Structure 1
Amino acid sequence: MKKFSIEFKWAIIANILFLAWMTLEKQLGFHNEKIKWQMAFTLLFFIPSFLIYLLALLDKKKNYYQNNMNWRQGFISAIIISFIVAVFSPLAQFITHEIISPLYFEKLIKLSVENQRMTQEQAENYFNLTSYIWQSISGGISSGVVIGAIVAYLIRTKSV
């Protein structure tokens, strides 16, 4: 387990950052009056996510590989972080939708039906905790792997 302690630490930090971002979205009104812009605002979360993976892989490179890490080693580390983030994402989603923003789904359902993007039934099937948990698991793994691959390439030791 010590071999992956850096990945575990940064996965926890990533989930805390996610909860902070959700709190920010809520405070800025993107879960209420500006809810129609929430999806676009959420895309900005890729910036701090990239920063988290950058810091995590730099930490791994410095403190585990003694500043001598190739792309493959960094990429594997990023994959591990992504999977740990995914394991904790159901808890993060629960906290988001039950504590931080308990009316979020209700408001998204109402907006989707009013804008005739979905029927009531379609909206209820899409905007719910179970659906968002599965989306966060798959999205967390896929985006983490892609971001991790890029970061690992950028910080790899060229001579390894």
Structure 2
Amino acid sequence: MNKIGIELKWAAIITAFSCLWAALENALGYHKDFSNIIGIAFVYYIILTFLWAIAFIDKKKSLGKNAIWEFKSAFKFGLFLTGLTTLLSPIAQYIIYETISPDYFNNIIEYQLSKGRQTRESLELIHNMNFTIRQGVMNALSLGVIYSALYAWVFKTKKNTVVVPVTNSKKKK
């Protein structure tokens, strides 16, 4: 358990953050009026990026002060964290759209219909629980791999190499 404890902890924190953020959006009215949803989504992804960075920092600290954390190992950590967040994503989506904001799909369909850009049938195809869960899984996978590669590169330990000067052992005559 201790071997994957940090990964489980951060997958739970990231999933809980997503649910809490959706609750905040709903409380602020962004799940009824979608005119400024892009700005609030941008802030969400900035915070999510920092949470991933903190997860990598936490893992690196747990390895010890003098431990060497190569890119490959850091990337594996990130991929495992990605897998866990991807597994938890459908649960988070269900909590968000069934408990926190049960009228979300109807609200966004009505909002987009008022803009006159699409038909109700086409909107219902993309604004439903099944499509949203699939999209959430794809987002968790793609962002997780990107974050994993980025942070594995940033937080890898640089090996200290000692350069020993080569001396000529033959004496000049």
TM-score, normalisation: structure 2: 0.85
Give CA-to-partner distance per residue, 1:11-67, whole Å, 9 cap, x none.
01100010111111112211113x132244213222121111111111211213654
More helix by share: 1
Aligned equivalents of 2:54 and 2:24: distance in 1?
Answer: 22
Assess if the C-alpha contact under 8 Å between 2:82 and 2:145 holds in 1.
yes
**1:55-70 alignment to 2 at 5 Å?**
55-64=54-63, 67-70=67-70
**1:110-121 alignment to 2 at 5 Å?**
110-121=110-121
Gaps of 5+ in 2: 161-173
Tell me the equivalent position of 1:78.
78
Tell me the equivalent position of 1:156.
156
**RMSD, matched Cα:** 1.6
SS of residue paired to 2:53: helix
Assess if the C-alpha contact under 8 Å between 1:61 and 1:68 holds in 2.
no
Aligned equivalents of 2:118 and 2:42: distance in 1?
Answer: 22
Q: Give the deviation of 1:105 after TM superposition.
A: 0.5
Over the matched positions of the two proteins, sequence identity in percent amounts to: 30
Tell me the equivalent position of 1:25.
25
**1:26-45 alignment to 2 at 5 Å?**
26-33=26-33, 35-45=34-44
Tell me the equivalent position of 2:87.
87
**For residue 17 of structure 1, what is the amino acid of its counterpart?**
F
Q: Which moved more, 1:44-53 or 1:130-139?
A: 44-53
Give CA-to-partner distance per residue, 1:64-118, whole Å, 9 cap, x none.
3654212221111111111111111111111101111111100111112221222
Gaps of 5+ in 1: none
